[in-house]
């Protein structure tokens, strides 16, 4: 009987899978037929407030969701919002008579990086300059969300909420002590006094050089943050609250929301219902057919579609976002072959007269970085001007890519530099010896069986690997020297793997000028002898997979709300866990990535989701213990 029940369950399971496959094929075919219809469904937007509910993270290029995990998984992916879409919508709202106000709901906002948020803040300033209100609501404001909120005309805080300003910085794990106890040997090949990516595997704490460089970086970023917020909200007592929050919190007897109000960090206390009533008084009541807020709300997705740029631009814009990896990769990860192919195809079509490469990457594989740089160099050889536009981070491999450009633009808070390379491989002879396992064998050459992870690496292999890394570093120096019109010796003095903020990078000559993406497009137009006022961008994005687009349509309602805690204690704990998760995922990445890498690990905290989001692909780890083990495998 038990056997028959098992067979029956198996048959039912097979039936369910077949039904699901049939439905996917049916809807996939239906979507393909509908996609063949020329044009795009018109978008109608009514009057009201443009609702920007940033429930997730703000990114340069959203990642492609795993369709099967989305369809069959118990948890849906957290939203990612493209920076240029949100900025474009806010810019359009400034002059749109139908938009009476702009509303930012930051209750589930994870983060977006200082450069991206500063750009969006400028767009919000434009709305306010047009005499339109910008209303902001959240239960808890962190560094990233408050950087946006400061640009609002009315900042609301839930009476049970708080403003938690932590500033950049924090701890990361060092594995050297654990590895020694386990008997794991890290074979490290690097060039660069400040190439601190490998320090967790060779030291028990930060080296003096790495500590000094990182302290200088976070101090500059924090100063830039305070300057931006101070200009946007001069009445807020930011310096006093951030440097010594305890006295003001004690004065309010622990009431964090009242503290924020007393320090003029927010304008009003109220729950979401009271906030909606305030918006309704400005933008009108919700029409009967609208679901959601009680005020007339214009949906962000529809508004973005209605104001999407055309496909007739002369300035091509290609995005290099996320880790740079070998081969092909979907959006949100910079696959060397994928991006090079996009560049080659765009140039071959002959429609573009200049190229802007938008970089938001901590680097990665040297080979993939060179693959992208080579495609840009080939375009430049065809007399197509190249301008590099750096976002939150353009370091290591990200800077390698920028060396193909005629001009390099960045922002004062951009993280760049990290000109250095490294490789790391583990061996387990000590661990195996602890349990009585030894190894032996025969060789025909000095490299037979190398790297010998069971018996330890030979001196020849170690020396050859180090020489290879040193050669790659010399190549990196040469590329940068040629691009910046300096000698390799001059570049070596400011390289050595050190990470720089954009302001210092400009002083050192690593970038040409300050400016965002729009400035880079204008610069590319000038190089192509086009009137910048007439220049139009042509965004060269990967073509969406029809099946994935269908899955996204079918699962729109399943998109997860951000699980970032909205109370002070929960938020601070989640912030620390995210930093730990990021460090562990980076550690695992070192062992599974390319053998020679141009990567800036410390830069990850300043990208996309900032300190409150784990790296891509690790937002919902099963447990920190699993990551510990996988990082050391």
The pair of structure tokens assigned to 73 is 């998984």
pLDDT value at 572 more than 80: no
Predicted local confidence at residue 607, as pLDDT: 65
Q: Which of 191, 183, 214, 188 is nearest to 199 (CA)?
A: 188
Which one is catalytic: 396, 418, 427, 562?
396
pLDDT value at 124 more than 90: yes
CB of 290 closer than 8 Å to CB of 282: no
Predicted local confidence at residue 629, as pLDDT: 42
279-335 pLDDT per residue, tens: 999 999 988 877 788 999 999 999 999 988 878 899 999 999 999 999 999 899 999
Predicted local confidence at residue 422, as pLDDT: 85
pLDDT value at 170 more than 50: yes
Predicted local confidence at residue 131, as pLDDT: 96
Instruction: Return the percent helix, strand and coil in the chain, to nearest 5.
Output: 50, 20, 35
Tell me the percentage of the chain whose pLDDT exceeds 90: 59
620-631 in b/e form (b: 16+ CB < 10 A) is: ebeeeeebbeeb
Half-sphere exposure of 216 (CA within 13 A, CB side): 15
d(CA 502, CA 485): 19
Burial class of residue 245 in the structure, from the number of CB atoms within 10 Å of its CB (0-12 exposed, 13-18 middle, 19+ buried): middle
Q: What is the CA radius of gyration of the chain?
A: 26
The pair of structure tokens assigned to 430 is 């000590």
For strands 513-514 and 407-410, give the pairing. parallel
Tell me the domain boundaries of the chain. Answer: 47-169+226-418+455-543
Predicted local confidence at residue 617, as pLDDT: 41
Task: Locate the DSSP E strands across 83-153.
Answer: 99-105, 134-141
For the chain, how far is it from start to end, CA to CA, in angstroms?
44
Query: What mean pLDDT comes out for the span 403-414?
Result: 97
d(CA 57, CA 80): 5
d(CA 554, CA 367): 38
Average predicted confidence (pLDDT) for the chain: 84
196-245 pLDDT per residue, tens: 778 888 899 989 988 999 999 999 999 999 999 999 999 999 999 999 99
Predicted local confidence at residue 321, as pLDDT: 95
Q: Tokens 């008084």 sit at which residue? A: 281
d(CA 146, CA 137): 10
Strand order in the sheet with 154-163: 268-269, 154-163, 134-141, 99-105, 48-53, 297-299
d(CA 295, CA 221): 38
10-64 pLDDT per residue, tens: 666 666 656 666 655 655 555 544 444 434 444 455 789 999 999 999 999 998 7
Which one is catalytic: 57, 142, 145, 195?
195
Predicted local confidence at residue 614, as pLDDT: 45
- Is 195 or 312 the better-scoring residue by pLDDT? 312
Q: Does residue 122 have an active-site annotation? A: no
pLDDT value at 610 more than 60: no
The pair of structure tokens assigned to 445 is 């050459």
CATH architecture, domain 47-169+226-418+455-543:
Alpha-Beta Complex (3.90)
State the DSSP string of 503-514.
HHHHHHTSSSEE
Coil, strand, or helix at residue 427? strand
Tell me the percentage of the chain whose pLDDT exceeds 70: 78
457-467 pLDDT per residue, tens: 999 999 999 99
Q: Tokens 């037929």 sit at which residue? A: 33
pLDDT value at 612 more than 70: no
CB of 418 closer than 8 Å to CB of 497: yes
Cα–chain center distance at 86: 15
Q: Could you give the maximum distance between any two Cα atoms of the chain, in Å?
A: 83
Q: Which of 110-124, 325-339, 565-579 has the lowest mean pLDDT?
A: 565-579
236-273 pLDDT per residue, tens: 999 999 999 999 999 999 999 999 999 999 999 999 99
Query: What mean pLDDT comes out for the span 537-547?
Result: 81
**How many DSSP H helices and E strands does the chain contain?**
23, 22
Predicted local confidence at residue 171, as pLDDT: 80
For 299, phi then psi, to 5°, come to -70, 135
pLDDT value at 593 more than 70: no
Q: How many residues does the chain have?
A: 633
Query: What mean pLDDT comes out for the span 466-484?
Result: 94
Predicted local confidence at residue 444, as pLDDT: 93
Predicted local confidence at residue 623, as pLDDT: 45
CB of 339 closer than 8 Å to CB of 332: no
CB of 81 closer than 8 Å to CB of 54: yes
H-state helical runs in 307-335 = none
Query: What mean pLDDT comes out for the span 142-151?
Result: 96
Q: Does residue 195 have an active-site annotation? A: yes
For the ranges 168-172, 259-263, 539-543, the maximum mean pLDDT occurs at 259-263
480-539 pLDDT per residue, tens: 999 999 999 999 999 998 999 999 999 999 999 999 999 999 999 999 999 999 999 999
pTM of this prediction? Answer: 0.85
Cα–chain center distance at 128: 28
CB of 122 closer than 8 Å to CB of 147: no
Predicted local confidence at residue 46, as pLDDT: 76
As a three-state string, the secondary structure of 286-302 is CCCCCCCCCECEEEHHH
218-232 in b/e form (b: 16+ CB < 10 A) is: bebbbebbeebbeeb
């Amino acid at each position: 009987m038990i056997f028959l029940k098992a067979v029956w369950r198996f048959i039912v399971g097979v039936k369910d899978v077949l039904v699901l496959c049939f439905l996917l094929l049916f809807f996939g075919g239906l979507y393909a037929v509908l996609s063949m219809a020329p044009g795009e469904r018109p978008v109608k937007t009514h009057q009201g407030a443009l609702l920007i509910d940033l429930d997730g993270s703000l990114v340069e290029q959203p990642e492609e969701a795993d369709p099967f995990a989305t369809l069959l998984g118990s948890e849906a992916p957290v939203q990612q919002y493209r920076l240029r879409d949100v900025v474009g919508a806010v810019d359009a709202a400034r002059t749109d008579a139908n938009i009476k106000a702009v509303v930012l709901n930051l209750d589930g906002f994870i983060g977006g990086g200082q450069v991206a948020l500063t750009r969006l803040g400028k767009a919000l300033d434009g709305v306010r300059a047009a005499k339109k209100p910008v209303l902001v609501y959240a239960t808890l404001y962190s560094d990233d969300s408050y950087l946006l909120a400061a640009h609002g005309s009315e900042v609301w805080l839930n009476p049970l909420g708080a403003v938690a300003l932590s500033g950049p910085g924090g701890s990361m794990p060092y594995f050297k002590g654990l590895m020694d106890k386990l008997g794991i040997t890290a074979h490290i090949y690097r060039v660069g006094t400040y190439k601190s990516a490998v320090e967790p595997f060779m030291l028990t704490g930060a080296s003096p050089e790495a500590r000094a460089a990182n302290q200088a970086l976070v101090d500059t970023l924090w100063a830039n943050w305070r300057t931006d917020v101070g200009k946007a909200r001069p009445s807020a007592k930011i310096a006093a609250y951030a440097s010594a929050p305890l006295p003001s919190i004690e004065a309010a007897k622990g009431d964090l929301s009242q503290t924020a109000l007393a320090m003029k960090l927010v304008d009003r206390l109220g729950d979401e219902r009271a906030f909606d009533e305030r918006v309704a008084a400005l933008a009108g009541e919700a029409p009967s057919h609208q679901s959601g807020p009680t005020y007339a709300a214009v949906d962000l997705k529809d508004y973005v579609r209605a104001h999407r740029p055309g496909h007739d631009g002369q300035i091509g814009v290609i995005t290099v976002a996320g880790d740079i990896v070998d081969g092909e990769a979907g959006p949100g990860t910079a696959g060397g072959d994928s991006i090079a192919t996009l560049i080659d195809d765009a140039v071959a079509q002959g429609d573009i007269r200049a190229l802007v490469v938008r970089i938001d990457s901590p680097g990665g594989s040297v080979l993939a970085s060179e693959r992208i740089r080579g495609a840009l160099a080939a375009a430049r050889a065809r007399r197509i001007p190249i301008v590099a536009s750096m976002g939150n981070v353009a370091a290591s491999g990200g800077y390698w890519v920028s060396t193909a450009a005629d001009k390099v633009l960045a922002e004062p808070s951009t993280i760049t530099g990290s000109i250095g390379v490294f490789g790391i491989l583990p061996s387990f002879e000590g661990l195996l010896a602890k349990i009585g396992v030894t190894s032996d064998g025969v060789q025909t050459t000095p490299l037979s069986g190398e790297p010998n992870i069971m018996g330890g690496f030979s001196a020849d292999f170690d020396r050859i690997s180090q020489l290879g890394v040193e050669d790659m570093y010399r190549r990196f120096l040469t590329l940068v020297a040629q691009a910046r019109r300096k000698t390799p010796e001059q570049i070596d003095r400011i390289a050595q793997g050190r990470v720089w903020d954009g302001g210092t990078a400009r002083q050192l000559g690593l970038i040409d000028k300050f400016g965002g993406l729009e400035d880079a497009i204008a610069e590319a137009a000038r190089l192509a002898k086009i009137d910048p006022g007439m220049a139009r961008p042509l965004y060269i994005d990967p073509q969406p997979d029809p099946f994935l687009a269908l899955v996204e349509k079918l699962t729109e309602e399943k998109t997860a709300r951000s699980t970032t805690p909205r109370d002070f204690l929960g938020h601070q704990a989640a912030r620390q866990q995210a930093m730990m998760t990021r460090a562990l995922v980076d550690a695992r990445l070192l062992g599974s990535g390319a053998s020679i890498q141009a990567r800036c690990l410390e830069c990850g905290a300043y990208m996309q989701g900032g300190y409150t989001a784990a790296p891509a692909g690790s937002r919902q780890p099963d447990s920190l213990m699993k990551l510990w083990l996988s990082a050391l495998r």
